[in-house]
Structure 1
Amino acid sequence: MGVSPTAYNSCTTVQIGSQNACQAAIAAANNILNSSAGYQLADSFAQSFRAGNATSKENILVIKFAPVADIGLNFVMRSLHYNQYTPTPWNGFAILAETYNAFDAADRRRNVILQGPQNNVETGAPAKDRAGNPLVFTINIADETQATEGEGPRLYKWPADAKHVAQNNGNDYAWFRLGEILLIKAEALNELTPGDPTALALVNQLRARPKETVAPALAGPITRDLILQERRFELTGEAKRRQDLIRHGKYTQAWGYKPASAAFRVLLPIPQKQLDANPMLTQNPGY
């Protein structure tokens, strides 16, 4: 069910603010919000990501994982330091400093990003780097081509499963969840009527979860940029940002370590193998 409003709200062939697309997104979102399935926001932000999230009433469409060899979620391996978890993670991925810095310090959703002195996520003991010094994750990376092992904040949104088997954790990955549906409806309402108070109320509903206020309420008025930022805060690491930036005409701008790019980069190239196999295909412009 989450596919419909996302498709309407992400269609690059429809200009942002298009009445028909926005109305369709609102209608599809309402179908989910009023569904007999009884979807509702999880009591806390973390609830939809931790092991055991199969029972989350917020998650609409998930990719199932289990703490079993070859069918578990391995996100902890991608970003944690070698000495924070067993088996040894890859110490590979870091969050951009501008993403971390965009969060208000009072926003509890920022807690899924690890920064500062670190612990072993299984034992709670202070973690050391490979030289035996206290492990500290910095906010900034001085030189992305020569980064040290503690540089860069790390995403820890899907925490380690106590029942994990090697790198296989049982956290399900939610591709669509109710939190995003509220943001889709808010964005569409605001595109139809800039500053729509219902859009502001939807964003603040998301910030005031049933048993956890994750961030202070926004005073308003709501704006397009505020909703885009809210999607960043709520959906960091959930594979939404690229399409959000394309929809808002910001994807080709420079950020972090990415220089400004040509307009054609919003589309990826069609692999040559597929072009060779199907003469009906035409390569995307610019490639």
Structure 2
Amino acid sequence: MKNYKFIYVLIGLTFFLSSCEEWLQVEPRQSIDSATALSSQEAITAATNGVYARFRSVALYGRDFLAIPELLADNAFNTGAGNRLVGQFNNQPGSHMGNWGTAYFTINQINLILRALQEVELPVEFRNRIRGEVLFLRALLYHDLARVYAYDPTADIPGVNVGGVPIVTQGTLTVAEVEYPARNTVDEVYTFIYNDLEESLGLMQNFNMNRRPFFVTRGAVAALFSRVALYRGDYARAIEMSEIAMASGVANFPADPVSGWRTQVQPESFFEIVFTTQDNIGANESLRATFMSRVFLNDAVAASHGNVVFTDELAAAFPDEDLRRDLIQRGLAVNSGVFEINKFASKNGVPNLDNVPVIRYSEAITNKAEAHYHLGQFDLALTELNKLRVRAGLEALEGITGPQILDEILLEKRREFAFEGHRFFDLKRLGRDIIKPTGNVEHSDFRILANIPNREIETNPSLVQNRGY
């Protein structure tokens, strides 16, 4: 079995060194052979672009990290069209997120870039920028792995917690370099992510306004840091990083909550996954195909699928005066009786093609609001929360205190980030049960965590599988 694993790794690494379409794209040259890969500034730039491209994967932000958390929680209903993601909607054992392989393959690519930055003679500014970018991307990958496969620091279950995820820092190019690491503790994983983000924040000091949100900026690093700190229960740091992000100028807060979803680039994006025509996921697995039965916003002819739609409960959570109701519309044909989200409506002018915001300005606001709540700073929490409410056409909240504030923050997040992949992870990190007609899933249920792929467990004797699988 281990020989098979070695072959799998070498095939993957051969692709890493030689692909001319996804991994080593660079202009004007389109490929770099394995003899010169990662030995020049041009090659390292191409390799870094290839890392960004990995995030377009269906298993990452091409679909799953936005659609599946809505299905696992109580936001989305699955119509069954196309027979896709039905198991996730029903919370069937083993039907969960599946980012392990893609994430670790990309982490290996990042680690090889980090090695090259140490070994190749390069301009200091270039070295610092690339290092800052890939450290951010590695932190994002590790946090997403931790969210899926491990309990959160704020909602641990000590009796069944078997750890976080393995931390791998050395890139692998040969069979001799292959290692079989055990799972690090949750705290070790978060400390590692913190270290990557802190270094990235310093390195990206001078890389902000001159770059679009398709690339890492200091504002993006601070925004992700605020998310990670909230998950860790480090609330003072979450506030600090939210403020740095909002002051960075990378993203802004439009006067209405709908217009940003109609522009090619979402103005709220601190970090956004860009999709070009050749990156089109297509009519079966794209976000448009998953969420809508129309090809474009106002199409009158039904397209395929649109299988992930609003639950009645979520649709009812939007008051009549909420401006964000413009992001909700009835489906077509068999979906005429359900509500669909139209945030991803082929807005780039090509069917099934939309950029994907990963971290938005509104999240920095809600991170800050919730952190203030946990610190007992209720007035400050309400001030932040009301920024979203007032923009959405709702009245500002006054005179509430204690746990009611947290409930309102979670309700506002549910509305603001509908079908952006937050709901399941918010319930999980707060230790809350998932209440849904198909069957409740208590936080103590083993299905809260994903199963590590069996091939990894069979190959690596140091890995411990999550409970129940």
> Is 1:214 aligned to 2:393, yes or no?
yes
State the SS of the aligned residue for 1:204.
helix
Aligned residue identity for 2:356: Y
Rounded to whole Å, the distance in 1 between the matches of 2:244 and 2:347 is: 33
Match of 1:228 in 2: 410
**Deviation per residue, 1:161-212 (Å, 9 max, x gap):** 3721xx332x321110111100000000011115x11111111122334xxx
1:82-101 paired onto structure 2 within 5 Å:
84=299, 88-101=303-316
User: Cα offset for 1:59?
Assistant: 0.8
Of 153-162 and 95-104, the range deviating more from structure 2: 153-162
- The one of 163, 168, 178 aligned to 2:352: 168
Distance (whole Å) between structure 1 residues aligned to residue 281 and residue 263 of structure 2: 11
Q: How does 1:1-287 map to 2 (within 5 A)?
A: 1=221, 2-11=223-232, 18=233, 21-35=234-248, 37-53=249-265, 56=267, 58-66=268-276, 68-71=277-280, 74-81=286-293, 84=299, 88-115=303-330, 129=333, 149-161=335-347, 163-164=349-350, 167-169=351-353, 171-193=354-376, 196-209=378-391, 213-221=392-400, 223-250=405-432, 252-261=433-442, 262-287=444-469
CA–CA distance in 2 between the matches of 1:77 and 1:217?
36
| 41 and 82 in structure 1: CA distance in 2 versus 1, 3 angstrom threshold | closer
CA distance in 2, matches of 1:247, 1:78: 26
State the Cα deviation string for residues 145-168 of structure 1 (Å, max 9, x = none): xxx54332111122333721xx33
Whichever residue aligns with residue 395 of structure 2, its letter is P
Letter in 1 for 2:459: A
Which structure is larger by alpha-carbon Rg, 1 or 2? 2
Q: Note closer, same or farther for the CA distance 1:268–1:225 as it changes in structure 2 (3 Å cut).
A: same
Identity %: 24
SS at match of 2:358: strand
Instruction: Spell out, residue by residue over 1:78-98, the C-alpha distance to the aligned partner (whole angstroms, 9 max, x if none).
Output: 233369467833232211111
- Is the Cα–Cα contact under 8 Å of residues 288 and 306 in structure 2 kept in the other structure? no
Determine helix, strand or coil for the equivalent of 1:3: helix
For the aligned residues, what is the CA RMSD? 2.5
C-alpha distance in structure 2 between counterparts of 1:162 and 1:192, whole Å:
42
d(CA) in 2 for partners of 1:38 and 1:76? Answer: 26
The structure-2 alpha-carbon separation of the partners of 1:258 and 1:61, relative to structure 1 and needing over 3 Å to count, comes to farther
Q: Which runs of 5+ in 1 are unaligned?
A: 12-17, 119-126, 130-147
* Equivalent-residue separation in structure 1 for 2:231 and 2:317 (angstroms): 23
What SS does the corresponding residue of 1:215 show, helix, strand or coil? coil
Q: CA deviation at 1:101?
A: 0.8
Distance 1:7 1:190 in 2: 17
SS at match of 2:308: coil
Say if 1:48 and 1:59, in contact at 8 Å, map to a contact too: no
Distance 2:398 2:228 in 1: 30
Which whole-Å CA distance do the structure 2 matches of 1:254 and 1:269 have between them? 22
Give TM-score scaled by structure 1 length: 0.74
Aligned residues: 238
* Structure 1 residue 69: Cα displacement: 4.3
- SS in structure 2 of the partner of residue 160 of structure 1: coil
Q: Is the 8 A contact 1:112 1:155 kept in 2?
A: yes
Residues 113 and 155 in structure 1, CA contact (< 8 A), matched pair in contact too:
yes
With over 3 angstroms needed to count, the CA separation of the structure-2 counterparts of 1:162 and 1:285, relative to structure 1, is closer
Name the CA shift for 1:236/1:107 in 2 (closer, same or farther; >3 Å). same
- Normalised by the size of structure 2, how large is the TM-score? 0.47
Structure 1: distance between partners of 2:335 and 2:243: 46
More helix by proportion, 1 or 2? 2
CA distance in 1, matches of 2:434, 2:281: 36
Distance 1:9 1:85, change over 3 A: farther
Deviation at 1:246, TM superposition (A): 0.8
Alpha carbons 1:110, 1:233 under 8 Å: kept = no
Change (3 A) 1:231 1:156: same
With over 3 angstroms needed to count, the CA separation of the structure-2 counterparts of 1:38 and 1:245, relative to structure 1, is: same
2: distance between equivalents of 1:71 and 1:149? 24
Higher relative contact order (CA 8 A, sep 6+): 1
Counterpart contact for 2:291–2:308, Cα < 8 Å: yes
Aligned twin of 2:99: none
Tell me how far 1:110 sits from its aligned partner.
2.5
The unaligned stretches of length 5 or more in structure 2 are: 1-220
* Conserved 8 A contact 2:235-2:371: yes
Further displaced range: 87-96 or 171-180: 87-96
Query: Contact between 2:293 and 2:302, CA under 8 Å: does it hold in 1?
Result: no
Please give the alpha-carbon distance, in whole angstroms, between the structure 1 residues aligned to 2:306 and 2:429: 32
